Amino acid sequence: MPTDNKVAFLFPGQGNIPKTIISSRIGKRLFHIAEQNGLLLRELVRDNQIDVLSQTQYAQPMILINSLIREEKLRDRGLIPAVVAGHSLGEYAALVSAGVLTAKDALCTVIERARLMATIKGGMVAILKLPIVDVRSICQSIRGDVVIANYNAPEQAVISGGKAALRQATKLVEQMGGRAIPLRVSGAFHSSAAVEAEKKLAPTIAKLSFATPLVPMISSVSGNPEYDGVRLKKLLLTQITSCVRWVDVINSMTREGVSYGVEAGTSGVLPSLGRQITSQIRFLSFEEALHGRI
């Protein structure tokens, strides 16, 4: 790989559940930590318990472990990130990759985060083929707490709120020619419905030691590169209720001169979103990067 090509590692949020486990040094250690916290994740994957793994309290720690295993494999292959970013939950893996948090601290915090977020009511719906301005207008027109939770791409957003309000929004989206896809999540994440979960998680985050990042981490809360551990802690404290500004994240990567964006995960979602945002970065799946496409 030419030395002037900057690589960004992208870490996915709560979405597709890994169906296989890759043997790795960090994976063995993190699965043991999960077991000490009562989560038999290795056995759930082995037994193909996808319905259980899809539940928030299991999905979030499993996805974090999967991301960190793949991050280790990419580094073993010789890829070193110049920039990192994570989509919602993925920010915890990004913090580890940037040297801000230890893997153990990240996992233990995510286990608590997942437990709290599993109590949030409501739901989320992905909106495709509608400009953000139209999605915003739909949310404002509905009596009920429906907000844009994720700005994922120029014509892809996620809305969050109560079930009845989401049904109203879905009808309006379809009337305007868009497409609405309910997400397999347990509640209205990145909305005011998550305030209590965020408050209860705050003491856990406050106790953590945040180091200065070794490489810029682009926050999905601010959409900007962040260089200070104290600042990253403040952003993480508001992350569960804050909008995920993924379009801003990718645009910041473009300004940082990133040449390749590699997903350190198995969802395949982040490369797809990235290609919708910019043609200046080449986005690759984990498998493509691992097998020499860079």
Residues known to be catalytic: 88, 190
Give the span between the Cα atoms of 260 and 122, in whole angstroms. 36
Nearest to 151 by CA among 260, 15, 17, 273: 273
Residue 147: beta bridge partners? 160
- With b for 16 or more beta-carbon neighbours within 10 A and e for fewer, the 173-211 pattern comes to beeeebebeebebbbbbbbebbeebbeebeeebeebebe
Angle at 247 between CA 243 and CA 249, to 5 degrees: 85
| Beta-sheet pairing, 6-11 with 258-263 | parallel
Nearest to 66 by CA among 97, 27, 109: 27
CA dihedral 190, 44, 286, 81 (to 10 degrees): 60
Residue 289: beta bridge partners? none
Nearest to 13 by CA among 74, 86, 85, 95: 86
Count CB neighbours of 102 within 10 A: 14
The DSSP secondary structure of 211-242, one letter per residue, reads PPPSS-EE-TTTSSEE--HHHHHHHHHTTTTS
From the number of C-beta atoms within 10 Å of its C-beta (0-12, 13-18, 19+), residue 126 rates as: middle
